Structure 1
Amino acid sequence: MDLRHFRNIDGLQLTLEAPRLLVIGSNGQGKSNLLEGVELLTSLRSHRCSVDRDLIGHGHPWSRLGALTDEADSLQLELRRSGGRQAFRNGKRLERQLDLIGPLRCVGFSALDLDLVRGEPALRRQWLDRVVLQLEPVYGALLSRYGRLLRQRSQLLRRGLGAGTRQELLEAFDQQMALVGARLHRRRQRALRRLEPLAAAWQQRIGGAGEPLRLDYISGTVLAEASDEEGPWRQALEEQLRQQRPEEERLGQCQVGPHRDEVALLIGGQAARRYGSAGQQRTLVLALKLGELELVGQVVGQPPLLLLDDVLAELDPGRQQLLLEAVGDGHQCLVSATHLEAFSTGWRARSQVVELRSGALVA
C-alpha cells in the first residue's frame, strides 16, 4: 500500500503482513485518512468526501494511491487538481476507471455510519449505492450518468428558453433519465432484497427474536404494480416526468426519480428512525454492515476487505465483541482505534499493529 500527498499523509508505504491491521493513533493523526485511501482505491468513492481536490494534500497538485494485491496485481489511482483522475492497472492506463474495481472489494464501517438510521434519506441512498457498487461495478457509470442528466435537466428547467424549444429538450432529457433511472431503481431494489434476509438474521442474533428487521425500498418513481423488469420502471418514470413538468418548471428542480428514493429501516414493524432507542439503532446498523459483508462475499466469491474506522469506540463492549467475533479469521481487515486496549489479547496476537502520528508511521 502506497499513499502520496493524500490529505495529511505526505508519503506512506505499508506492507500488510497479517490478516488484520490495527492502526493506532490519537485523533487527527491520519488513521481515517489511511482507511479512506484504501476505500477510494477499491471503490473509486469516499464516504467522507465527494470532491477530489479536498483529498489532495495542501500545496500539492496531485495525490497518488497504489496497492499490490496478493495476485501481484498493481493498482494505482491519481487525483489531480486539474485534469481529473487517472487509473492504472499493472502500469497500463485504463480507459475506464471502473476497470480498477475488481481485484479488491471492500466494505467500510465508520462512526459516520451510525447516523444511517437517524440521518436524512440521502445518507441511506448513498449507503445503498455503495452496496450496489461492490456487487456491480458498472453501477458507478450509471450513477454518474444519471447525476449529469439530473443537473443538466434542472438547469434547463431554470433557463429562459422559448417554450417550444425547452419542451423539445425536456422530452429528450426525460427519455434518457427514464432509461438510466429505471436501471438504477432495479439494481437498488434487487440489492436490498438480497441484503434483507442476511441483515435480518444478524439482527435476530444481536437484538433477539422480538426485534425483527425489515428493509423497505420506497421508490422515487411510483409503479402501479411491483415489477423486476426494466420496461415498467422506464415507462412509469417517463410518464411521471411528463406529468410533473409544470410543477418542476415552477420549482426549477426534478421531483421524481432515483434521487428521491428512500430506504425504510423497520424494527418490529416500527420505523427505527422514530421509535428505536439508541441501542436498537446501533444494533440495526451493525446488522446491516454484517449483512453487507456477507452479501458481497457471496456475490464476488471471496471475502471483501473490511475497514473499521474508529467504530469500536461507539459500540458497547458486547457489540464490540460480537463484531470482532463475526469478522473472525475469514476477512482481511483494517481497523483504526485510539488505543490497543479495545482489542483482546488474542486479537492483538494475530494482528499487525502500526502507529500513525501526523500522517506518518511511527518507527
Structure 2
Amino acid sequence: MSLNTEKIRKDFPILKREINGNALVYFDNASTSQKPQSVIDSISSFYTNSNANVHRGTSTLSEEASELYEGAHRKVADFIGADSIAEIAFTNNTTESLNLIAYSWGLNNLRKNDEVVITRMEHHSNLIPWQQICNKTGAQLKFIELNEDYTLNLEKAEEIMSSRTKLVSAVHVSNSLGTINDVKTLGKIAHDNNALMVVDGAQSAPHMEIDVKDIDCDFFAFSGHKMLGPTGIGALYGQEERMKELEPFNFGGGMISEVEYDSAKWNVSPWKFEAGTPNIAQGIGFGEAVDYLSNVGMNKIYKHEKELTKYALEELENFEDLRMYIPPLEKLAGIISFTMEGIHPHDISALVDEEGVAIRGGHHCTQPLMKLLGIDATARASFYLYNTKEEIDIFVEALKKARDLFK
C-alpha cells in the first residue's frame, strides 16, 4: 500500500508556507528534513513539563528527564536493530560521530604504513577526519574508485585492501550522486582483511530500513535532522565490544565513574561519550522522529521515494540541455543531481525558488568529487515521504522557466 501523502503533509506545519506567493515545494531533504508537529511538540513538552538535567539528581524532574532521554536512546537503538543503548551514543550529528571514531580509535590505533580506505564519493565529514588522522599518524589514505555509472568499483576495492588495511569507511548513500552503495559486501571485504567497517548512514537511515547487524558494520553514523528530528542531535552506533574498546575524546562531567586529582575512570557506554549536559530536548525529539518514521513504515517510505524518483527522471529526460550525475535507477536513492547548459547550479536554485521550489545548488560538501567529475557544482533535488508527483510537475515547470530566461 502506498503512502497517504495527503494525510502525512498535514503533520508538517511548514508545508503550509508560501514562498514568493507560491506554495512551498521542499526538495532539499538531503540537506535537512522538515519536522512533524509531534516532534515539535515533544521538544516543547519537555521544556514546559520536565526540564531538568539528566543523571544528576534524584528529584522527580531529573528522573523524568533521564527516563525520557534514555528512552530516546532505546528508540534509536531499536530503529536500526542495535542490541541495546550501550551501542548508541548521542552526538551532535553525523560529522561528530565520524570524528569520534577518527579521534578515539584512529589516533590510538593507526601507525605509520597502516592504511585507511574510503571512497571517492565521500562527504567532507567522512573525508577530512581520516585525511587529518592519517596525516597525524603516518597512515596512508586510499580510495575506492568509481565506475562510469557512478557506482563503486568493488573489484578494485578488493584489490587495494590488504593486511595493512585497518579501517574502511564508506557512505551508504551518496549525498551528491544518490548512489546506494553495497556496504554489506564492502564490509565483508574489510573484515576478510581484519579491518573495521564504518558506515556513514546520514542519507540512508532517514529513507530505508536499516539493520546494523545484517550489514555487519562495526560503526554506523547518522543525524537526527535529516530524518524529521531536530538539529544538534545525531547518533553513533558501535558494536558493544567496539564501544567498550573506544576511548572517549571529550572529557568532563557525566562521562566518568570515578575521579582522583591525578586519574579518572570512565563511565560505561554510551555515557562515557556524552560529556557535559547533553542535548536533552533534541534527543527526545530524535526519539519522537523515530516513532513517526516507524509508524509510517520505512519500506513504504523507500518505495514512495523510488516512485517519485522514477517519475522525476522521466520528466527530466525531456530536457536536451540537462545532464544528470546519477547511477542506474535500481541503485539510485531519492536524490537527483544535474547541470543545465549555460546556467550555473546556484542560478538554477535561485530561479526555481522564485516559483517556491527549494533545491540545493553547490558542491554539496564533496568538492574533490566535483573536481573528479570535471564540474564545479550541481543542482540537486532530493525527495522525502511528504513529497508528491504534483510537486515534481511544479519543479519541472520552474526549470523550464529558468531555462527560457537564460535562453
With structure 1 as the length reference, what TM-score do the two structures score? 0.26
Higher RCO structure (Cα 8 Å, ≥6 apart): 1
